[in-house]
Amino acid sequence: MSSNPFLSKFNTPFNTIPFDKITVDHYLPAFEEGIKQGLSEIDSIVTNKETPTFANTIEALEKVGPLLEIVGSTFSNLNLAETSKEMQALAKVISPKLSDYSNDIILNDALFKRVEAVYAIKNTLTLTPEQSTLLDKTYKSFVRNGSKLNAEQKEKLRTIDKEKSQCSLTYSENVLAESNAFELVITNASDLAGLPEGTIEAAKITAKEKGKENAWVFTLDYPSYGPFMTYSENRNLKEQMFKAYGSKAFKNNEHDNQNILKQIAILRHERAVLLGYKSHADFVLEERMAESPTKVFSFLENLLDNSLSFAKDELEELKAYIKVNNGPEDLKKWDIPYYAEKLKKEKFAIDDELLRPYFKLENVIEGVFETAKRLYGFTFIQRNDIPLYHKDVTTYEVKNAQGEFLAVFYADFFPRAGKRQGAWMTSFVNQKIENGENVRPHVSIVCNFTKPTESKPSLLSFDEVTTLFHEFGHALHGMCANGQYGSLTGTSVYWDFVELPSQILENWCYEKECLDLFAKHYQTGEVIPSDFIQKIVDSSNFQSGLATIRQIGLATLDMAWHSQNPKHITSVKDFEISVTAKTDLMPSVPETCTSCSFSHIFPGGYSSGYYSYKWAEVIDADAFEAFKEKGIFNQEVATAFYKNVLSAGGSEHPSILYKRFRGREADPKALLRRSGLIKETV
């Protein structure tokens, strides 16, 4: 085997990861060496004869494991964005090793005694707010992960953590396998009726890639699935697609997730109870702005009260439209996107296909870069000398307003077999101060957008435009990080605050002043007409009641799985139906089950946290009102947001940071105003 790139200095621009030199064989030895070094560094802290201090214990602990950190971020990020059978098999070997390593630290009695000793004298120490946060977080992480348990309980915790990590891996693999296994092959051109030209062309390319001549192939990747459900006139094929999408890992086959997800929920509950909490939700929410399941349920209930009647009216309006247009009398869930799009077009004279020509991917990227420049002075310079993990990835050097190096930015936009569905932001390197040097972050956004075809560039739907702005908002949070400690910088904030920087940036997509910067027809260069922008704004709250209760339903499902003992749940499907009864206004489809492919909450980090999208929407709606009051590119507001939110990371409690930005707490009615669910003015 060639020398291991992880075990020597990276000879790359900005010390970026040498993806071109890393093979699957390099990971395991690098993980093992990283674990060995980490435990040695822990031993040095524990055996230190000096009295425990903030510097020799808390700060020293923060600096443990730099090798493991870089190997771990590389492997975990690629296992989502560019995985393979070999990577997945390796993940099952590595996962228990990392679980053991984590527990070897957190359950080390001598180490905890030192942490506890520093925490006990906290009030006598002179600490910055960030240092104080680090001390609190470090102490709590030990207590919340079992440091006060007896030996028998600690062993049980280790077993639970190992099983839980293995179950999470299996769940993810099953969803990916099911997504990749399905394809709708069309050989009769008449079955393409209603579909946009670009969607048909993309399906032709997919067919060619899969070795199918004279055919069109549609997949469960959203750029394929979404337009098919929205525009296809073939009701039977839409039913087939809908059921395939909704039944991922719910087929009682080798990739079925019903038992796996129950096991994850049970293990999470057992772990929480072992640590002295009533439920997993109680455990999680202790470290969130929402604080408790009671508050989350109250928040969701309040939202439901304000949106349910709107949602019911919207559904009735749609049903009436379908009836007038001789649509099906036995309306099903797979009919909704098609008729909703038709109704939207009739009401607002707008649809995605009218807008797509104005949203060429390259122009949207330039637009989001220009938005960052006008707000914060950032510039993005494409680099061709930074190693890539896939040819579709593009890299940029980011500079701040003073022309100084700020971050490395990776952008990975198109679907492929080794990539998980959806869109997300992640980091390969977190910002921190190390030996007096400000180590700048390497951040990435990963999406699954409409691919270019032989005749057209990548033309985004408006939803994809807002997704790009959303993920770029997360990326800005990572890029702007400017703290002392890596565990508190960038997106390392309370989970129900992390969506603020991403969701607020979506607001710029609805503003003429921003759209005029980049929304230009890909063939003529014509700037998007003003009446189109007005139609985007007018239609932005189309079926906002239905959209809101859908999110409430998903958040309620998440809380239902995690706020009680799930051992009594026998049928995953029946349980799901019972807890979403209030928010599901259409009959449930027997073949489908959301829980089985709800990757956000089962393997993902959103367990007991899916409500945070709506929670953060309240904050982002309120925050954007500050920009609207003074101008969407107003420097005073942008500087305050940069200083108190984007660069502050998790250095202080989010409510403190937000009040510092806004001068007050967020107004809960801001979201209802923006969604058109109340007519009150600010």
Q: Is residue 477 part of a domain?
A: no
**Domain stop point among 209, 224, 246:** 246
CA distance linking residue 493 with residue 322, whole number of Å = 45
CA distance linking residue 446 with residue 444, whole number of Å = 7
The predicted structure's pLDDT at residue 680: 57
Tokens of 429: 């390197």
Length of the chain: 682
Q: Give yes or no: residues 140 and 9 share one domain.
A: yes
pTM of structure: 0.89
Q: Is residue 283 part of a domain?
A: no
Q: At what angle do helices 293-324 and 336-348 cross, to 10 degrees?
A: 70
Q: Give yes or no: residues 29 and 135 share one domain.
A: yes
Please choose, from the candidates 542, 575, 490, the residue with its C-alpha nearest in 3D space to the C-alpha of residue 675.
542
**Domain stop point among 148, 169, 194:** 148
Residues 531 and 372: beta-carbon distance below 8 Å: no
**Domain stop point among 226, 246, 266:** 246
Residue written as tokens 């939803």? 463
Name 439's bridge partners: 432
Q: Is residue 100 part of a domain?
A: yes
Q: Give yes or no: residues 215 and 133 share one domain.
A: no
Domain that holds residue 105: 5-148
Q: Is residue 65 part of a domain?
A: yes
Tokens of 352: 């995605």
**pLDDT tens for residues 562-604?**
999 999 999 999 999 999 999 999 999 999 999 999 999 998 8
CA distance linking residue 440 with residue 430, whole number of Å = 7
Taking residue 578's Cβ as centre, other Cβ atoms within 10 Å add up to: 11
CA distance linking residue 362 with residue 368, whole number of Å = 10
Neighbour-count burial for 375-400, b at 16+ CB within 10 Å, e otherwise: bbbbbbeeeeebbbbeebbbbbbbbb
**pLDDT tens for residues 323-370?**
999 999 999 999 999 999 999 999 999 888 899 999 999 999 999 999
DSSP tag of 440: P
Residues 111 and 45: beta-carbon distance below 8 Å: yes
- Alpha-helix residue ranges (DSSP H) falling in 255-292: 258-274, 280-285
CA distance linking residue 420 with residue 80, whole number of Å = 6
Strand boundaries in 52-95, DSSP class E: none
Name 437's bridge partners: 434
The predicted structure's pLDDT at residue 457: 95
Residues 276 and 369: beta-carbon distance below 8 Å: no
Tokens of 544: 């906002």
Sort 240 into a burial class: Cβ within 10 Å, 0-12 / 13-18 / 19+: middle
The predicted structure's pLDDT at residue 679: 62
Neighbour-count burial for 450-470, b at 16+ CB within 10 Å, e otherwise: bbbbeebbbbbbbebbbbbbb
The predicted structure's pLDDT at residue 682: 45
Mean pLDDT of the chain: 95
Active-site option among 41, 471, 506, 511: 471
For residue 487, the one-letter residue type is S
Q: Tell me the helix, strand and coil percentages in the chain, rounded to 5.
A: 60, 5, 35
Domains identified in the chain, total number: 2
Residue written as tokens 């027809």? 521
Residue written as tokens 């800005």? 476
Q: Is residue 630 part of a domain?
A: no
Q: Is residue 288 part of a domain?
A: no
Please give the C-alpha separations between residue 618 and each of 298, 460, 606, 675, in angstroms, as whole numbers: 14, 27, 18, 10
Q: Give yes or no: residues 143 and 215 share one domain.
A: no
Residues 672 and 625: beta-carbon distance below 8 Å: no
Task: Tell me how many degrees the CA angle 498-602-390 measures, rounded to the nearest 5.
Answer: 70
Q: Give yes or no: residues 188 and 144 share one domain.
A: no
The predicted structure's pLDDT at residue 678: 73
Active site residue 270: no
Point out the residues of the chain with pLDDT beneath 50.
682
Q: Give yes or no: residues 30 and 116 share one domain.
A: yes
Q: Give yes or no: residues 123 and 192 share one domain.
A: no
Tokens of 652: 């202080």
Tokens of 445: 């956004």
Phi/psi for 303 (5° steps) reads -65, -40
Q: Give yes or no: residues 12 and 138 share one domain.
A: yes
Which CATH number characterizes residue 85's domain?
A: 1.20.1050.40
Strand order from edge to edge, sheet including 394-399: 379-383, 394-399, 405-412, 442-446, 424-429
Residues 95 and 165: beta-carbon distance below 8 Å: yes
Q: Give yes or no: residues 45 and 142 share one domain.
A: yes
CB neighbour list of residue 570: distance below 8 Å, 6 or more residues apart: none
Residues 555 and 574: beta-carbon distance below 8 Å: no
Q: Give yes or no: residues 12 and 95 share one domain.
A: yes
Q: Is residue 235 part of a domain?
A: yes
CA distance linking residue 30 with residue 7, whole number of Å = 7
Residue written as tokens 């069109």? 216
Q: Give yes or no: residues 39 and 97 share one domain.
A: yes
CA distance linking residue 408 with residue 395, whole number of Å = 7
CA distance linking residue 255 with residue 171, whole number of Å = 8
Please choose, from the candidates 419, 410, 512, 528, the residue with its C-alpha nearest in 3D space to the C-alpha of residue 471.
410
Please choose, from the candidates 371, 427, 380, 437, the residue with its C-alpha nearest in 3D space to the C-alpha of residue 403.
380
- For CA atoms 206, 211, 217, 222, give the dihedral sign: negative
Q: Is residue 486 part of a domain?
A: no
Q: Give yes or no: residues 115 and 47 share one domain.
A: yes
The predicted structure's pLDDT at residue 559: 98
